[in-house]
């Protein structure tokens, strides 16, 4: 791996860490307009269209807040799958799920 690639990876990792740290605040404080309303409406739509013994995927799952609302609305036989390439985001998701358990 050359120096430029290492520098880019380091920069990306630092950016992901910072973004992960502020994401919950951004989405939960109406910094993103109407996001709270989206989190209430979207799980209802997922529930309307989900089918027993199938999967629901969340691509780019952020802090997993929306998926936690979805879990409350779909049948227990529906598998919930979060996908995110950032280790920091994945760790934050696990922290949020453990807190809910």
- pLDDT tens for the chain, residues 1 to 101: 788 888 888 887 777 777 666 666 666 666 667 777 887 888 999 999 999 999 999 887 666 778 888 999 999 999 998 887 777 777 777 777 765 55
The predicted structure's pLDDT at residue 23: 65
d(CA 79, CA 43): 14
pLDDT at 31: 67
Q: What is the pLDDT of residue 10?
A: 83
Walk me through the domains of the chain, giving residue ranges and CATH numbers: 3-99 (3.40.50.150)
Q: Which residues of 14-46 are buried (b: 16+ CB within 10 A; e: fewer)?
A: eebeeebeebeeebeeeeeeeeeeebeeebeeb
82, 58 Cβ separation under 8 angstroms: yes
pTM: 0.61
């Amino acid at each position: 791996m050359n120096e430029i690639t290492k520098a880019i990876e380091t920069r990306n990792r630092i950016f992901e860490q910072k973004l992960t740290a502020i994401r919950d605040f951004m989405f939960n404080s109406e910094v993103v307009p109407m996001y709270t309303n989206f989190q209430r409406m979207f799980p209802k739509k997922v529930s309307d269209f989900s089918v027993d013994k199938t999967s629901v995927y969340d691509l780019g799952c952020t802090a997993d807040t929306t998926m936690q609302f979805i879990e409350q609305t779909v049948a227990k036989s529906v598998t919930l799958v979060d996908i995110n390439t950032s280790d920091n985001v994945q760790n934050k998701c696990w922290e949020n799920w453990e807190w809910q358990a």
